[in-house]
Structure 1
């Protein structure tokens, strides 16, 4: 399976952002990608000031654009994430997935909202705008099942475990780590989750804009089930098509049978007396 990771910036002009995303998806197809992945909040600025103004319902402008990108290029598309607004006016950080016919096959609403306050570093509170999702997302493809989560979701090992137990062989993560959390934990988390789940992990991040309202770490990444970094970007706008050997997932799981060896009874919480 060839997966295209897109690291692009997002400016104030939504139309321009969608056009740039379409250009990158086309470039991935030209490199024979089967799947393309856009970054978190790719259609506008990553800021509480803009999430609601940029929010759209299902089948809105950005949704339609993503559907067309998938169909026009005849590939699977993980549409990064966009602010989605529902009928009740709740706003979610949402990733839509489309098949090569442009049909939506999955939707993930970010479950763990990015509410942090690091002393001397980053402070942000997504929950000022977003509502948390409540569903684990795994979808079928011709190459196997893929698990999908968004950025801060990936810090929670229980969620990755649930996706793997649901059959996921690849974990796809549109994400926007910042200049505090990125250098400290970005590669560590992708390698850690790959080794724990014996699966591929891939992350697509926004390109870094030092003058932006939110400075992304960038460094989009792909990691093997053995924990090897297959590709890692820098800070700039770029894309890369990475080939994932799906047989390696089964090979690693056979060599180190962690899934079958796990004893659920050992992990039961017992009352201490």
Structure 2
């Protein structure tokens, strides 16, 4: 007998989310100050959840990751170890917002000891890492990019993050108590529908992807992937890109956007700096799921539920 109990809403109350599309240069301190100004702008527009782009504190590229990388563990790091951590914490606190801090290059240094008691050379491991803070400036979650951007399209673009970066190994779900749960992933992670499906089945009302698609893959797949993840999972999707800078070594596509549970684009930026604000409403999620009841029609007798046994995020 079917239950008559109405499912609790995955988004408890409407909330404005902002994607901050900005350009970053070689001066980390200037990048952090610029991001702070843009977060203030987003908060002034009524956003309570603010998202920054991938690698917002530095230029994007394998040549830049090591020189801009910061030590995040043990947490909290000192300001000298991670000025970006402390800047993000202050942005969240000063504006009373939940801040999904794009991503920054992270350094983990491991020193091993031999059986003879001597220290080996320190091993340096780099990650592409997103930090989420609450309105008090407290770290809520850390996501390390799981799927590294290794592609080669002849005559167009070749890029290998794995030449420098290591992959993360956990799905990141973040509880925002007044609203519900969001999933945070980074850029290339959006191409892997399993990650999104697991997050949605575990109650995420929004899938949030700071990302930096390029001028080859951007026009092909950026919006398409945002809409696909939204319609697959009947939830909101936010993609937040850097602004395009043709003088930089890597040319970002831009076009940050927010997509609703029926795959309608609620707001989309152009190429330059822009703040995209959209209101997310839990009723829209429920309307989509009642009208096209995928959640009740899945055939786990034919295929497995991928959310079972997935690795959940560790405590920050």
Compute the TM-score of the two structures, normalised by the length of structure 1.
0.96
Question: Corresponding residue for 1:70?
Answer: 92
Q: Distance in 2 between matches of 1:144 and 1:173?
A: 17
Partners of 2:268 and 2:276 within 8 A in 1 = no
Q: Distance in 1 between matches of 2:293 and 2:174?
A: 23
Partners of 2:267 and 2:277 within 8 A in 1 = no
Question: Corresponding residue for 2:68?
Answer: 54
SS of equivalent residue, structure 2 residue 301: helix
Partners of 1:143 and 1:246 within 8 A in 2 = no
SS of equivalent residue, structure 1 residue 48: coil
Superposition deviation, residue 256 in structure 1 = 1.6
Question: Corresponding residue for 1:114?
Answer: 149
* 1:116-135 CA distance string (max 9 Å, x none): 00112111000011100000
Q: Distance in 1 between matches of 2:18 and 2:195?
A: 24
* 1:146-179 CA distance string (max 9 Å, x none): 0111000000011111111111110000000000
Q: Quick one: which of 167, 177, 181 aligns to 2:203?
A: 167
How many pairs are equivalent?
Answer: 268
SS of equivalent residue, structure 1 residue 248: helix
More helix by percentage: 1
Q: Distance in 2 between matches of 1:264 and 1:149?
A: 26
Residues 1:33 and 2:47 aligned together:
yes
Question: Corresponding residue for 1:151?
Answer: 187
Q: Distance in 1 between matches of 2:167 and 2:192?
A: 14
Q: Distance in 2 between matches of 1:119 and 1:72?
A: 46
SS of equivalent residue, structure 1 residue 267: coil
SS of equivalent residue, structure 2 residue 64: helix
Superposition deviation, residue 240 in structure 1 = 2.1
Q: Which structure: larger Rg?
A: 2
Partners of 2:259 and 2:267 within 8 A in 1 = yes
* 1:74-132 CA distance string (max 9 Å, x none): 11000000001123221110000000000010111000000000112111000011100
Any unmatched runs of 5+ in structure 1?
269-273
Which aligned pairs between 1:103-252 and structure 2 lie closer than 5 A? 103-141=138-176, 142-252=178-288
Moved more, 18-27 or 139-148: 139-148
Question: Corresponding residue for 2:307?
Answer: none
Compute the TM-score of the two structures, normalised by the length of structure 2.
0.83
Partners of 1:224 and 1:230 within 8 A in 2 = yes
Any unmatched runs of 5+ in structure 2?
1-14, 111-123, 305-316
SS of equivalent residue, structure 1 residue 163: helix
Superposition deviation, residue 260 in structure 1 = 2.4
Q: Distance in 2 between matches of 1:86 and 1:261?
A: 44
Q: Distance in 1 between matches of 2:248 and 2:296?
A: 47
Residues 1:45 and 2:80 aligned together:
no
Moved over 3 A (4+): none
Superposition deviation, residue 57 in structure 1 = 1.1
Superposition deviation, residue 248 in structure 1 = 0.9
Question: Corresponding residue for 1:17?
Answer: 31
Question: Corresponding residue for 2:294?
Answer: 258
